[in-house]
Amino acid sequence: MPNPQAVGTQWLLTQTERANPRSRLDDQHPGDQAWSTGNRVTPLVHGATYFADLYARLEATREGDLVWFTDWRGDPDERLTDDPGSDIVSVLSRAAERGVDVRGLVWRSHWDKLAFSAEQNRRIGEQLQQHGAEVLLDMRVRTGGSHHQKFVVIRHRDRPKDDVAYVGGIDLCHTRRDDAAHEGDPQAVPMAEEFGPTPAWHDVQVAISGPAVHDVETVFRERWEDPTPLSRNVFRMLRDRLRGDDVSPDPLPEQAPRRGAPSLHRPGRCAVPHPAAAGAASGPGRDRRGRPGSGRLLRPREPRRRPGLRPREGVRHGRPLGERGLRQLQSPLLDP
């Protein structure tokens, strides 16, 4: 059997090669290793396969669990299955009302008239926040760039062997719930006429169990805790303030330790029965949204940052456009 260390060194960057000393992602990895071993990775080909698996996992979350996600585009009414009430906002809202810590970082997006998704991304955040989740519009990118991370982390307070992270190319949005027949998602994003009314969409997500779940969670934490303002565009900052938008991330609970010995992952199935829905409890050890903390009261929400706050030089996320693309798209509408 190949040595995991040797295989990793051949295919993956080491800590030295990655040269990102500000990240704490590798604090749990030995030596110069920048990856984890002992994981189980299950490919989920097609959005319909991924969404069905995600739906079962989300519905099985209980009070004290956490569900954290990032997205490039999010449509609040996108259904994960054909079941009534399987739209993404309803599923995540029910989880938040059960006492699950639900948080999201969604790219703020460029202007809708340039065929982007600013309005959809805003709506998914607003609707989830009404149910106790916290979803922020994140524009901490270079001008013309975007956040293209698409992952979901689910960690369980009492069932750590069921922890899972989904990573890949599939957004929680329209057009993605296609299957092997490639007849398209009934909820389609309009595209060129040649693609038809329900364009085919071929993509893949992987379900990860094992120590790498902790790593994916750490990536979310580093983005969430980055002190750089969510937007540096003074006009957007002013509009956010006038709307009363949430621009100050609540503090995160302490991170649970890494888990080993991944459980066998069977796509579309869940290891625990569907829990009865219950209202979110309140009491000591919870933040202002009623979410459970780590056995203590979390610190109160910090005052909103001043528009002139200088961003910290640190971990940067997102991939900018090339120089030619920047010249073509440079516009106040794209300024973060």
- Which neighbouring-strand residues pair with 234? none
Structure tokens at 61: 């979350």
- Check residue 141 and give its pLDDT: 72
- Check residue 228 and give its pLDDT: 80
pTM, 2 dp: 0.75
- Check residue 144 and give its pLDDT: 66
Assigned superfamily of 40-265+313-329: Endonuclease Chain A (3.30.870.10)
- Check residue 7 and give its pLDDT: 77
* Domain coordinates in residue numbering, the chain: 40-265+313-329
Low-confidence stretches of the chain (pLDDT < 50) are: 110-117, 269-288, 292-336
- Check residue 290 and give its pLDDT: 52
For the segment 36-77, what is each residue's pLDDT rounded down to a tens digit?
999 999 999 999 999 999 999 999 999 999 999 999 888 999
- Check residue 249 and give its pLDDT: 85
123-137 b/e (C-beta count within 10 Å ≥ 16 → b): bbbbbbbebbbbbbb
Structure tokens at 30: 């030995």
Residue 140 to residues 132, 169, 213, 252: CA-CA distances in angstroms? 24, 20, 24, 19
Return phi, psi of residue 312, to 5°.
-80, 140
